[in-house]
Amino acid sequence: MSEQKDIDRTRYFELKKQLEEASRLYYKDGVSPMSDQDFDFGLKEMEALEAKYPELRGKGSLTQKVGSDLTNDFAKVAHAVPMLSIANVYSEEEMREFVKAAEEGLSSFVSRLSSKKWICERKIDGVSLSVIYENGRLKQAATRGDGAQGDDVTLNALTIADIPEYFDAKKLKIDPSEIPQGTFEVRGEVYMEREAFERLNEQFILENKKTFQNCRNTVSGSLKLKSVAECKTRPMRFFAYHIPQSNNKTHEENLKQLKRLGFHTNDYWTADTVDEIMAISEKIGASRDSLPFDIDGMVVKLNDLQQQRELGSTSKSPRWAIAYKFKAERAYTPLLSVEFQVGRTGAVTPVANLAPVRLAGTTVKRATLHNFDEVARLDLHYGDTVGVEKGGEIIPKITDVKRELRPAGASPVVAPEKCPVCGEQLTHIDGEVILRCENLHCKAQVQCLFEHFVSREAMNIENLGPALIASLLATGKIKRIPDLYRLTLEDLESQERMAKKSAKNVFDAIQASKQRSLENLLHGLGIRFVGRTSARNIAKHFRTLEKIRTATVEELQNVTDVGERIGKSVYEFFHTPLYTNEIDELVALGLPTEFKGVVKTLFQGQTAVITGTLPNMDRDEARKLIEENGGKVSGSVSKKTSWVLAGEAAGSKLTKANELGIPVHDEAWLMAQIANADESGDAPDENAGSSAGNFANEKASVSATPAEDQMSLNL
């Protein structure tokens, strides 16, 4: 018995670690590391083990709480009625058990209605949102968060055309008496249509930005953008589906009311029996490929609101609703070959080439294998018949292998030892699951390296974008970074769609970049782990390129915020012949070798934290100002924080600063300190400008401002 308990406990903590990490990635990073079904089955296994060993169950268990998407970048909004997650079922048997439990949980299941006991709706694969109106005007919008409180995303929600800013009776063609007075909360799902998602990803590819995994994750990230202007470029939609505090008698009446108020509501079907519910699920499932948006199941709710209240909820989910999740479509097809693709950072990813097979309305020929740990888990061999699923992923994934169909003598898929593009030895760094090509001049990485080198934060070569870089690479005009500085006007004019004036602008920008400072070059070289701040700190510390090239690892580690990892990386870079020869060429071509910035000490030894939206500059600009004046910018508030720079809609960082008694200042204070220091060299007055208390009061007054006025305040 003791041995079995040890086995069960080991399994429980394995599940706990796996599911907690999956939940964190899903809610915090917008990444889906496992399917919903695998997550739900793991959660049910945890529940069974907790029932067997109650001492394992704690308040923090995933089985007892709603997954949280809370971040530190937004103010928090307490939900008047908890925003719970809906429990999932995957089979008709489980659906029958749910309906039976609901009927038995009611004192009487004799509905006040002659029919329509259950409402069935498509389950949109999106992100829950609460939208609150005050006397018909939008006041606040919040994510689900941890169920008890969510992040205030009002300004981003206002960019979604489907969410009314106010209810206009004349425009809606309804009687003014129908406009809800007082507080009126609407809950719904923010989503993105597949076509819009694909266009957005195509645009990101053109701009050399990281693409999104699926529509749901795109929406999750978009709602948490700090830039309202950028959020406006994300084509999000909204379906309203719930009124938490309603005076109506049925859910169906709620949906009709929402539609009259101008909200988009999802289609719905009514049912009285499980047989009818399952028939509706087949109808919805059969139509999913023809819809413009992703659905992953069907939601079934009691129609009678009084019965909903009578059944109540658990700590996680309502007892009056269930989500019937559709199984991901799967097809089986032979594995023809495996390609090893080298990404922008040198990561080598295996991609399967398959015999064409129809899946979810499209023909699939390729599927991702994620990494070589996954290849090993599948025990994948060439010629295997593999299961392929397409559950909202950009590229379908291989889920399993039919080993009984494996051809005799089939060879296993093994990881390459050398880069398939440049032939360099691949490395496997401890703690990472990926193989990596460390050769920055590998052709697979060179486009990215050039784009990084010319970027604003590096050498800042204007008008030299990804398309022109690709063209120059394709025509052989550039192969390595020094080649940029050997380009002639004729070389540029010879590129497709390049006019003489445009070519001259690019040529002049390349020459002008020679006047940049050492930190720009150091950052642009693409040394692993060296970012903007560490490049500037290293350049400022050593002052010349020659001193950096001759510095020891220990000397590099003495630089502010340069630890062992960065120090070793910089040392190895400047002691690798491939790179040192290139540096010699760049120096000979006249690129900067000295730190040209003025070493300012206004904020020397001080650590600042930036939170909220500043009125006249973005956070990146504020960070630069602070760092240029000797300060350090941190991402979190602690006892070591010297002061906080706060704008409007400041969230938990402001709260923590007030709790710790840390000075809080605004943008005007920052600019005044810098101006005074430039004139007199005086140190900053920590008591000047907005105090923590004053700023908190200002913030509170702004929060009460009507939504349309908030937009003009650039919150």
> Model confidence at 709, in pLDDT bands (50, 70, 90)?
very low
Give the residue, 116 or 530, on which the prediction is more confident.
530
Range name among 287-296, 319-328, 474-483 with the lowest pLDDT average:
287-296
Q: Is the pLDDT of residue 620 over 60?
A: yes
Q: Flag whether 85 is marked binding.
A: yes
Q: Which two tokens stand for residue 491?
A: 């070389």
Q: Which two tokens stand for residue 171?
A: 């425009």
Is 598 contained in some domain?
Answer: no
Which percentage of the chain shows pLDDT scores above 70?
Answer: 86
pLDDT tens-digit readout, 421-475: 899 999 886 656 778 888 867 887 888 889 889 988 899 998 898 889 989 999 9
Q: Is 551 helix (H, G, I), strand (E, B) or coil?
A: coil
Q: Read off the CATH number of the domain in which 341 is found.
A: 2.40.50.140
Q: Flag whether 39 is marked binding.
A: yes
Give the residue, 390 or 705, on which the prediction is more confident.
390
- DSSP result, 11-58: HHHHHHHHHHHHHHHHHHS----S-HHHHHHHHHHHHHHHHH-GGG--
Statement to judge: residues 310 and 353 lie in one domain: no
**pLDDT on residue 533:** 80
pLDDT tens-digit readout, 388-412: 987 544 568 898 999 999 999 999 9
Q: Half-sphere exposure of 695 toward its Cβ, with a 13 Å CA cutoff?
A: 30
Q: Read off the CATH number of the domain in which 685 is found.
A: 3.40.50.10190
Structural domain that includes position 266 = 76-325
Q: Is the pLDDT of residue 684 over 50?
A: no
Statement to judge: residues 87 and 53 lie in one domain: no
Q: Is the pLDDT of residue 693 over 70?
A: no
Separation CA 224–CA 74 (nearest Å): 8
Statement to judge: residues 320 and 369 lie in one domain: no
Statement to judge: residues 219 and 291 lie in one domain: yes
Give the residue, 559 or 142, on which the prediction is more confident.
142
Q: Read off the CATH number of the domain in which 255 is found.
A: 3.30.470.30
Separation CA 119–CA 285 (nearest Å): 16
At how many degrees (to 10) do helices 692-703 and 652-660 cross? Answer: 150
Give the residue, 311 or 563, on which the prediction is more confident.
311
Q: Flag whether 325 is marked binding.
A: yes
Q: Is 706 helix (H, G, I), strand (E, B) or coil?
A: coil
Statement to judge: residues 38 and 169 lie in one domain: no
Q: Flag whether 329 is marked binding.
A: no
Q: Flag whether 121 is marked binding.
A: yes
Q: Flag whether 448 is marked binding.
A: no
Give the residue, 513 or 526, on which the prediction is more confident.
513
Q: Is 362 helix (H, G, I), strand (E, B) or coil?
A: strand
Mean pLDDT, residues 209-234: 84
pLDDT tens-digit readout, 252-269: 999 999 999 999 999 999
**pLDDT on residue 373:** 87
pLDDT tens-digit readout, 514-536: 999 999 999 999 887 888 888 98
Strand partners, 351: 339, 368
Q: Read off the CATH number of the domain in which 12 is found.
A: 1.10.287.610
Determine whether 249 is an active site residue. Answer: no
**pLDDT on residue 106:** 83
Statement to judge: residues 127 and 20 lie in one domain: no
**pLDDT on residue 209:** 67
Q: Is the pLDDT of residue 233 over 50?
A: yes
Is 211 contained in some domain?
Answer: yes
Statement to judge: residues 95 and 177 lie in one domain: yes
**pLDDT on residue 44:** 79
What mean pLDDT, rounded, does the chain reach?
84
Statement to judge: residues 550 and 690 lie in one domain: no
Listed residues 44, 64, 84: the one ending a domain: 64
Statement to judge: residues 700 and 618 lie in one domain: yes
Q: Flag whether 86 is marked binding.
A: yes
Is 436 contained in some domain?
Answer: no
Q: Flag whether 453 is marked binding.
A: no
Is 338 contained in some domain?
Answer: yes
Separation CA 363–CA 345 (nearest Å): 30
SS3 readout for 180-198: CCCEEEEEEEEECCHHHHH
∠136-138-141 over CA atoms, to 5°? 140
> What contacts 590, CB < 8 A, 6 or more positions away?
485, 514
Question: Which range scores top for mean pLDDT: 180-194, 319-333, 599-613, 639-653?
Answer: 180-194
Q: Is the pLDDT of residue 687 over 50?
A: no
Find the DSSP H helices in 363-498: 372-378, 443-454, 466-474, 489-493
Q: Flag whether 515 is marked binding.
A: no
Q: Flag whether 93 is marked binding.
A: no
Q: Read off the CATH number of the domain in which 565 is found.
A: 1.10.150.20
Number of domains in the chain: 5
Q: Match 């001492």 to its residue by tokens.
A: 55
Handedness of CA 103, 109, 111, 114 (dihedral sign): positive
Separation CA 423–CA 439 (nearest Å): 9
Statement to judge: residues 52 and 128 lie in one domain: no
**pLDDT on residue 702:** 30
Please give the model's pTM, rounded to 2 decimal places: 0.51
Is 89 contained in some domain?
Answer: yes
Q: Is the pLDDT of residue 342 over 60?
A: yes
**pLDDT on residue 36:** 65
Handedness of CA 470, 474, 476, 479 (dihedral sign): positive
> Model confidence at 477, in pLDDT bands (50, 70, 90)?
very high
Q: Is the pLDDT of residue 361 over 80?
A: no
Separation CA 281–CA 273 (nearest Å): 13
Q: Flag whether 301 is marked binding.
A: yes
Give the residue, 498 or 599, on which the prediction is more confident.
498
Statement to judge: residues 336 and 381 lie in one domain: yes
Mean pLDDT, residues 696-711: 30
Answer whether 284's CB lies under 8 Å from 293's CB.
no
**pLDDT on residue 627:** 79
Statement to judge: residues 544 and 663 lie in one domain: no
Is 168 contained in some domain?
Answer: yes
Long-range pairs for 634-638 at CB < 8 Å and ≥24 separation?
Answer: 634/607, 634/608, 634/609, 635/609, 636/72, 636/609, 637/609, 637/662
16, 123, 397, 540: the catalytic one is 123
Is 557 contained in some domain?
Answer: yes
Listed residues 359, 389, 405: the one ending a domain: 405
Is 428 contained in some domain?
Answer: no
Q: Flag whether 682 is marked binding.
A: no
Q: Is the pLDDT of residue 583 over 70?
A: yes
Range name among 202-216, 250-264, 483-497 with the lowest pLDDT average:
202-216
**pLDDT on residue 28:** 56
Listed residues 588, 617, 635: the one ending a domain: 588
pLDDT tens-digit readout, 143-190: 998 888 999 999 999 999 999 999 999 999 999 999 999 999 999 999
Q: Flag whether 189 is marked binding.
A: yes
